[in-house]
Structure 1
Amino acid sequence: MSSKKIGSLAMIILIFCSSTVFADSSYKLNEKRIFGKDRYETSAMISKDNWNSSSDVILCNGENFPDALCSVTLAKKYDAPILLVSKNAINENVMKELNRLNPKKITIIGKEGVISSEIEEKIKNFLPKKLQIERLGGMDRYETSKIIADKVGQSREIVLVSGKAPSDALTISSIAANKSMPVLLADENEESIQNYVKNNNVNKAYIIGGESCVPLEMERVAPSFERIYGKDRYESNQKVINRFRDSINFKSVYLTIASFNGVDQFADALSSAPLAAKDCSPIIFSDNTNKELLNIIQSKVNKDSTIIAIGGEKLVSNDTINNLIKSISSNQSNNSSSSGGSNNSNVKADYTLSLEQSFPGAFTYDLKFTSINSSNNLKEYQLLYDGKVIAEDKDGDGVVRVLAIFLGKDIDKSKFQILKQGEYINFNI
């Protein structure tokens, strides 16, 4: 057998008899809210809450989304917050936050028609030290996205989104940024995108949105492509998170709005995206509570996870947060109670455990789970304890290696789970 990943949790103990695994009835996620009285103050509050200082700051128009959509990957590159201004005015709280951050450089996204030169001069006069200000803006939103992509630098993979609706770009923004993938507006100018792909040796394009958003012709701009979309912004949100679920960190889940009173909204999601990108956390649209998405989140979160609402209660209500947490916690409890096996006659175990010492004198045991209804072994699964992965069958031979420091009596049997492709497996241990 090839070498196996050994869990680092020293308290893992192997149980040599059948038992039922029940969920901890006290399971409860943490929650937090970051907000100001408007989108500008909210952007300042997000920055203040998560950056002690920053040598770089990204400045975006809080009312004009196209130029701002592609800036998250650049913010991640600079480890910079995104602060929002209007075309001709800068919020007092944003100005205070700039002063607190004390940046050496500010990057303004968009030309003077998006953020005026008066804003630039006001910042220069307000901040006493010598300050570098760079403006990234093209003749239109498409050229601006390419200019930003050039600043991000070469990547073998890129993201193509529509420049006419913000939700598709925002749903993948933290993921793209964490993976250093430039985001390009691609519902027009196919030739320009093709030139960018060729000049930057791009291998693959992730197209976010259906053909009505990003046309079919864009599928041929790169050697390979993958289109991800749903029937609406909420299903697209779920589809993107499902696609990248194995690389997303669910310790923090950011809950924002995608629309309000029928109008597209982007500001709070944009402001939170650089923060979410730090550890590739997901951005969830607050109305997106479909079963598939709940199953994804439920399978990934643990008691250390936090649901972070971005925006005031008028936008993301306490009821929305509480209902989401309740649904996740309830699903976690239900799935956990059926993930083990089998003194409970109502729970049917699908697999049973067999184990042997890894080698004579070893402090580890090799485990495999065999189907009760056949001789087949479970493969490509994860073994969890208290919500944490302690062993994983990465090479697909069905065997995992686990520490066996102590034996039996003191371990909490209810905390063992098996997870395969987002589904919990019933088993005996």
Structure 2
Amino acid sequence: MNAKAGLLAAVLFAASSGGTLSAANATTMDFETTPQVLPAIQVANQQRLDGTDRYETAVKISRTIFPGSALTAVLVSGENYPDGLVAGATAARLGAPLLLTTHSSLNPSTAAELKRLNPKQILLVGGSGALDTGMENTLGKILPDTRLLRVSGEDRYQTAAAVSQLFWGSETDSVMLVSGSDFPDALVAGPAAARLGAPLLLSNPAGFDATTGTELRRLKPQTVYVIGKKLASDASAQLRASLPGVSLVPVGGTDRFDTAFNVSQQFWGQGFSGALVTSAQNFPDALSGAVLAKAAGLPVLLSGPTCNSQPVVKRLSTLETKIVLGGAGAVSNEATGKVCPPPVRPTDIVPGQNHIYAAQSYVYPAGQVQDWLLRRQTSPTYPQQKVVFLTFDDGPSANTAQNLQTLASRGVHATFFVATNQLGSAATQQILRQELLNGHAVAVHTASHNYQYLYPRRVCSPANVGADYARAVDTVRSISGPQWGTGAFRYPGGQMSWRGMAPCNQLMASRAMTWIDWNVEIGDALSRSLNASQLLNRMRSQVPRTGNVAVVLMHDSAPKTATVAALPSIIDYFVAQGYSFGVIG
């Protein structure tokens, strides 16, 4: 850096083998470290402070607090949070705006704000991994008479200790201690530390950091507030041993939102009526807001980007003053008053579908599968890779439970066309639920399985088929829950087996139901019984004629024990032939 750039003082801390801290190349006599009083400001209710990005948001906050010049400015990375976690409390102590920049170059909006502020000194927090070593040269060119000081350490814990040692005296009433492994707790701890005038130190969840312990012994605090996540198992004992009489006060919650609220109550009082609201999912806006929190006398609460849980919405609705930090992409205009829908779990049924969310990557719509069966390669969507649909009719039964174990052991899935006349017991109802929970598709086969009723004189009866399937759907939904639905069904005996199918097909299509037949049947429904080996051989003889799509008919009713025995070899055959396994939605 050239001579006009002023004084550069680098403070680098390293833990010696004895666990003490030593300062190297530290020249700070020309840098003003005396605490400065921030101007008290009034902020308008329901205001939003934002810019086109995080850098401009920090600038807008700076201008809100400092319409004129500032003695000091603090500069931290806007891309990575570790070194910047302690910067908010430090900037508030120095009575300085906190500005953000990219790692390799000074952000243009930040550069313009620094020129406007014309500070006599700038504090850079973080090493070269956070702020490039050329940052001082850049600053020296635009502010040649400004003193510069970089404070850093070999890691985030040493940086926090270095900042504390430089700007806080040998004894301090209070210290904030927060996890260095994540940012949410630190975002609300920084404003609280600024309110108390206390340093913020970082704790390593994996084990109490020696650097932090050394700095705590130097500070000799009477109270250590542990914010958010609990200390490492060895930390409390080490703190009490090294700081006799210290009061450890945990301030946490069930999650980051709850912790923010409890911190606000702890340090701003039970009846606090205003807050800054910032994103719980990112750090930059809250870093800049720590100084605003001190100037406005407000805590920081966290919000989701578009909605929040009921407790968070209730808390935010009670605020008389609410200032949102950051743009609508970080916290939307509706977020603080909108309750999020219940979270979706992988094992939840997709509303109106016959499978859970975890199955979505291998579900094929029934209409598409029917098209492939009917038109084969003439279908515009016909797959270029081989896919097999293992389907079971007539269950569930005890055999279904065994088949589920086989499918799980092979990591593949099937479509179960259930006969709801088999669902009269608690055991079979539980098997049905397990089919869904295991990622299989549950479609409808029949409620009665009565050929004479469904197809009098072998002619399909639309009225009887419609009533039968309505009963089947209602039964499955009563067991699986109201979210379940299906567009796939299979006629008992198959659509191919009966006369006069057009009226039945039209009726079912009007109910958004698509019939599914098969192009491979293993023979477990033949009048003569086949053993497992015969079932496998019969299936293998048919597969070459199917093209790239095989829909395999099997049965899982109680008599079909040979199918249970054959299933492992059936699955292994399709795996060896390079098929993927799908289910029919």
User: Structure 2 length as normaliser, TM-score?
Assistant: 0.46
Q: Offset of 1:247 from its aligned partner?
A: 8.2
Is the alpha carbon distance of 1:88 and 1:247 closer, same or farther for their aligned partners in structure 2, counting shifts above 3 Å? farther
Query: What SS class does the counterpart of residue 187 from structure 2 fall into?
Result: helix
Residue 283 (structure 1) aligned to one of 291, 300, 309: 300
Contact 2:177–2:203, Cα closer than 8 Å, also in 1? yes
What residue number does 1:244 align with? 267
**Is the CA contact (8 Å cut-off) linking 1:175 and 1:281 kept in structure 2?**
no
Closer, same or farther in 2 for the Cα pair 1:180/1:248, shift >3 Å?
farther
Q: Secondary structure of the equivalent of 1:177?
A: helix
Q: Is the 8 A contact 1:87 1:115 kept in 2?
A: yes
May I ask how many residue pairs the two structures share in their alignment? 283
| Correspondences of 1:348-359 after superposition (within 5 Å) | none
Aligned match of 1:85: 101
Is the 2:177–2:225 contact (alpha carbons within 8 Å) kept by the matching residues of 1?
A: yes
- Displacement of 1:249 in angstroms is 6.0
CA deviations over 1:213-262 (Å, ceiling 9, x no partner): x31322231422011222221121122223223188645x2111011xxx
SS in 2 for 1:31: coil
The structure-2 alpha-carbon separation of the partners of 1:194 and 1:247, relative to structure 1 and needing over 3 Å to count, comes to: farther
* SS of match in other structure, 1:225: strand
Q: In structure 2, what is the equivalent of residue 398 of structure 1?
A: none
What corresponds to 2:138 in structure 1?
A: 122
Cross-structure match for 2:195? 178
Describe the SS at the equivalent of 2:122: strand
TM-score (norm. length: structure 1): 0.61
Cα distance between partner residues in 2 of 1:75 and 1:254: 17
Q: What code does the residue aligned with 2:111 have?
A: M
CA shift for structure 1 position 39: 0.8
How far 1:122 sits from its partner (Å)? 0.9
Of the candidates 277, 282, 288, which is equivalent to residue 255 of structure 1?
Answer: 277
Tell me, yes or no, if structure 1 residue 113 matches structure 2 residue 132: no
Question: In the alignment, is the contact (CA less than 8 A) between 1:159 and 1:184 conserved in 2?
Answer: yes
Which is richer in helix?
2
Taking the aligned partners of 2:75 and 2:272, their CA distance within structure 1 comes to 27
* Inter-partner Cα distance in structure 2 for 1:285 and 1:123: 33
- Map of 1:20-419 to 2, 5 A cutoff? 30-52=45-67, 53-128=69-144, 130-154=145-169, 155-187=172-204, 188-211=207-230, 214-220=231-237, 221=239, 222=243, 223-246=246-269, 250-251=273-274, 253-259=275-281, 265-287=282-304, 301-302=319-320, 305=321, 307-321=322-336
Amino acid at match of 1:308: I
Contact 1:178 1:278 in 2 (8 A): no
Structure index of larger Rg: 2
Task: For 1:203, give the aligned amino acid.
Answer: Q
Deviations along 1:288-346, one digit per CA (max 9) or x if unpaired, are 956666666666x54xx3x111111121111124659xxxxxxxxxxxxxxxxxxxxxx
Q: Residues 320 and 134 of structure 1: is their aligned pair in 2 closer, same or farther, counting only changes over 3 Å?
A: same
Cα distance change on mapping 1:195 and 1:239 into 2, 3 Å: same
1:350-394 Cα deviation digits (max 9, x unpaired): xxxxxxxxxxxxxxxxxxxxxxxxxxxxxxxxxxxxxxxxxxxxx
Offset, 1:58: 0.4
Deviations 1:156-202 (A, max 9, x none): 21111111100011112111111111111111444333322222221
Please state how far the C-alpha of 1:84 moved relative to its aligned partner: 0.3
- Give the counterpart letter for 2:224 in structure 1: A
Counterpart AA for 1:31: Q
Secondary structure of the structure 2 residue equivalent to 1:46: helix
1:37 is paired with a residue of what secondary structure? Answer: coil
**Kept in 2: contact 1:40–1:91 (CA 8 A):** yes
Give the RMSD, CA atoms, in angstroms: 2.3
**Distance in 2 between residues matched to 1:173 and 1:203, nearest whole Å:** 19
Which stretch shifts more, 78-87 or 193-202?
193-202
The change in CA–CA distance for 1:117 and 1:48 in structure 2 (over 3 A counts) is same
Unpaired runs of at least 5, structure 1: 1-28, 260-264, 325-429
Shift of 1:149: 1.0
- How many Å separate the matches in 2 of 1:210 and 1:69? 15
Identity %: 29
1:127, distance to aligned residue in structure 2 (A): 1.9
Q: Do the aligned partners of 2:178 and 2:189 also contact (CA within 8 Å) in 1?
A: no
More strand by share: 1
1-side partners of 2:59 and 2:296: how far apart?
Answer: 20
Contact 1:175 1:280 in 2 (8 A): no
**Alpha-carbon contact 1:146-1:184 (below 8 Å) kept:** yes
Given that residues 248 and 281 in structure 1 are in contact (C-alpha distance below 8 angstroms), is that contact kept between their aligned partners in structure 2?
no
Structure 2: which 5+ runs fail to align? 1-43, 340-585
- Higher mean alpha-carbon deviation, 198-207 vs 285-294, is at 285-294
Instruction: Report the 3-state secondary structure (helix = DSSP H, G, I; strand = E; otherwise coil) of the residue aligned with 2:269.
Output: helix
